[in-house]
Amino acid sequence: MIEIGSEALAAVINPLGAELWSLRDAGGRALMTDADPAFWAGRAPLLFPIVGRLMDDRYRLDGKEYALPQHGFARRQNFALIDQAPDRAVLRLIDNAETRAAYPFAFALDAAFSLKGATLAMDVTVTNTGDVDMPASFGFHPAFAWPLPYGAAKAAHRITFADEERGQLAAIVKGGWMDAGGWESPVEGQVLALHDALFERDALVWNPVRSQSLAYGAEGGLQLVCDFPDTPALGLWMKPGARYLCIEPWHGIADPHGFTGEIWDKPLMQRYAPGEARTFTMRVTLAG
């Protein structure tokens, strides 16, 4: 495990998946999931080279089919530590025989974690290191404690978006694919009152999301402010009864139900030219 810290926060990163394993305040209080395996043992997987699920867990490229699990393979790969300081760590995954069997591209995936005061910055850079165009999506998937450890009841927590988030949400059908239909956003103006029943059907997905920032917590108490300037979609997810809330900025999304196109046609798929790199940032600030 890799530990970094500031005067206000301490973080632990697991090289398996370059996964943020824990985030604690200066008093040692846990700001992330308890990872209860009765619900979900994940913490903050990095989603690459796809976000969501493929139809039949397979995609098509140049007349061939390849198998990829939901959210891709990065979360199951060991990253190498390439730079570390007391308040910063950078980990890297490069293509290998196992990844090339499922995804025949040369890439580097760099995950940089840094702490400055009460802010954790996560900057993930996708680079095409090969000599052909590369399709790729990326997403964050951190699970924060619900309730946060500041005394407010679970039912008092809410999401406050930077902008109004009305209209229809994308619907996820059984199996994990996106449906052509949707349902009305439960957001009242900029505020989403949180309760378990919101997630009985699955994640809430905004595609697109207008906001590039939101605050999570109970009114009047310490909150987590999440900024996500590089991702046009957002998922919120938990399993009813669990003690976490996933706040998931995405540049990618699950296949539409019945999708049979090539991977280039997958919604929000990006095309990387040889040598091209793009960085995705998520910042989490403890504020009150």
Predicted TM-score of the model (pTM): 0.97
User: pLDDT digits over 62-119, tens only?
Assistant: 999 999 999 999 999 999 999 999 999 999 999 999 999 999 999 999 999 999 999 9
CA 234 to chain CA centroid, nearest Å: 9
* HSE (side-chain half, CA atoms, 13 Å) at 183: 12
Say which DSSP state 208 is in. S
Tokens of 176: 């994990």
Dist CA 229 CA 56 (whole Å): 32
Q: Give the bridge partners for 120, in sequence order.
A: 115, 284
Using the 8-state DSSP alphabet, how is residue 51 labeled? S
CB-CB contact of 269 with 133 (8 Å): no
pLDDT tens by residue, 126-156: 999 999 999 999 999 999 999 999 999 999 9
CA nearest to 286, candidates 149, 191, 176:
149
Number of other residues whose CB lies within 10 A of the CB of residue 96: 10
Q: CB 88: neighbour CB atoms within 10 A? A: 15
| Domain architecture of the chain: domains with CATH | 2-287 (2.70.98.10)
